[in-house]
Structures are given as structure tokens and as C-alpha cells.
Amino acid sequence: MVKTPVVSVVMPAYNAAAYLPKTVQSVLDQTFKDFELLIIDDDSTDQTAEVGQQLAASDSRIRFVHLDDNQGVANARNVGVANAEGQYVAFLDSDDLWLPDKLKLQVAFMQQHQAAFSYCSYDVVDDHGTKIGERKISEARLDYHEMLKGNRIGLLTVMLTREIAQKYPFSKINHEDYACWLSIARGGTLAYLASDRILAQYRKHQTSLSSNKLQAAQWTWTIYRQHEHLNIFKSLYYFLHYSLMGITDKR
């Protein structure tokens, strides 16, 4: 019988050939080795497929999946989650990085506390890998009410049980990660800070849409009204908290 991995790492990739090798190496460099890595190529037009296939050939823990049609990052993640075999599912986009102890510390926390959802803090780096900020999270636990005040949780830091990950797929909307965390929390699952250490690096591109705070605010409002179906008064209440958090945001 083939042993199933403890962690399935889901990595969507679209035109990511330039960053993919270093990102994958940050997974291979983990001090915790019992994982599988699923690279989901969302029908890239650059050399992502060639790079991904070469990486998969170099390590038996890497599985490469090519999608015939480009359907966006939410669908690519969902394909990865559907094919995951691990007890836990972790997410890493193809241009971000993990620090070596990320999986070790997070798996230990999840197992010790029987948690279904955990996160940690992360650095923000530019296109060249230079640190330009950090997202240091102080909240040891987040419930639905707290999550509505703004998305404190970085996708690249999240680990879920496979059961939860497969129960709550990503929606094809802007801020799909935030919408997913809200759905999980609304269902009664609490999210926990797995470590007080910074364990990942989020790459913030100059051209990134998510770096536009006005656009991000519009997306957040849409999630309140259309995804969470909050009334206007609750939406305004939580949007005020979101705005105040944005003023002190170091990203």
C-alpha cells in the first residue's frame, strides 16, 4: 500500500516560469518532508508547463497537472484540492516563498491542538525578493465576526484539514481567498495562529491588482453584500473596521 502524505501543497501556476523553480525549491527545502506538491498549470502561454514537468521529473513528491483551458486561479486551486491526498492541505502561489520550518511548525500545531484551520505571519517582498513590509498577526484565534473586520490571513500561510478544504471550494470572485475563509468561519470552524514566527514571504508585484487599496476596498464591499449577504448597516460596520485596519497595514 502506498503511504499517503501528511500535507498536500496546492500551487496554481499561470505564466509563472520565471518564479516557479525558486518557489518549488522553498517547498523542497522544508524541514518537514512528508508532503506532496501539486502544481496546477492553468493553461499558461509561457514555459510554465516545461518548467513544471522538469520539476516533477526531479522529485517523486511533485505532481504536475496541466489544465486545457484557462479558468482562473480559483478553479486551479479547486482542482489541486480535489486531487489532494494528504491529511492537510496548504496553499502556495507560484511566486511566493516559504521559510524552511513552515510546514514543521504548522503540522505540529495542527496535530497538537486538533485544529482544522491555521495561519501564521509573513513578510512582504518586492519583485527582487527585498523585504518591503510584513504582516505580523497578533490574534491567536479568529472567528467569523473577527474575520469580517478584514482579511488578516495570508493565503500562503493557510493550512486546512483536507475535509474542510474540500468542503469549501474557492469561488470565482475577486478576493476569493477571503471569501473562502469567511465561508469556513461562518460554518463554525475557528482559525488559529500556528506560530508567532514569520514563516513565509509574499511577493508584491508593482502591477499587482491586489496592491491597489481602492480596488481591494471595492472587492471587500462586494464580498460583504453579495457573498455574505450582510445588510447595509452590518456592511458599513465591518467596512469601518476594515478601513481602520488598512490605515495601519504594513503591507
For the residues 35-56, what does the mean pLDDT come to?
98
Q: For the chain, which residues make up each domain, given as ranges? A: 7-207
The pLDDT of residue 207 is 64
Alpha carbons 244 and 239: distance in angstroms, whole number: 9
CA quadruple 217, 223, 225, 228: dihedral positive or negative? negative
Alpha carbons 170 and 12: distance in angstroms, whole number: 12
Class at the top of the CATH hierarchy for domain 7-207: alpha beta
Q: Which value, in Å, is the radius of gyration of the alpha carbons in the chain?
A: 17
Model pLDDT for residues 148-199, shown as the tens digit of each residue: 999 999 999 999 999 999 999 999 999 999 999 999 999 999 999 999 999 9
Model pLDDT for residues 78-116, shown as the tens digit of each residue: 999 999 999 999 999 999 999 999 999 999 999 999 999
- pTM exceeding the 0.75 threshold for the entire prediction: yes
The pLDDT of residue 146 is 98
Grid-cell match 460596520, residue found: 237
pLDDT at 250 over 80: no
Cβ atoms of 55 and 62 within 8 Å: the answer is yes
